[in-house]
Amino acid sequence: MLGWALTFFIVALIAAVLGFGGIAGASAGIAQILFFVFLVLFVVSLVARAVRG
C-alpha cells in the first residue's frame, strides 16, 4: 500500500514538472488517500497485535 502511495506521489511530481496540472492533482490526491489508508491499516494491525499478546 505504501509502495502504491509513493508511486502515485512520484507520478504527481513528474506530471507537475512537465506542466500537467490536472494529472498532478489527481495523482497527489490518490497518493494522499492511499497513504492515509496505509496509516489506518498499520495502526489497526499494531492494536490487534498488542491485544493478542
Supply the pLDDT for residue 2.
83
The pLDDT tens digits of the residues spanning 18-46 come to: 999 898 999 999 999 999 999 999 999 99
Q: Is there a contact between 12 and 27 (Cβ–Cβ < 8 Å)? A: yes
Q: Is there a contact between 15 and 24 (Cβ–Cβ < 8 Å)? A: yes
Supply the pLDDT for residue 53.
77
Sign of CA dihedral 16, 21, 25, 27: negative
Q: Is there a contact between 9 and 31 (Cβ–Cβ < 8 Å)? A: yes
The pLDDT tens digits of the residues spanning 7-17 come to: 989 999 999 99
Asked if pLDDT for residue 1 goes beyond 80, the answer is: no
Supply the pLDDT for residue 13.
92
Q: What's the gap between Cα 34 and its chain centre?
A: 3
Give domain limits for the chain.
2-52
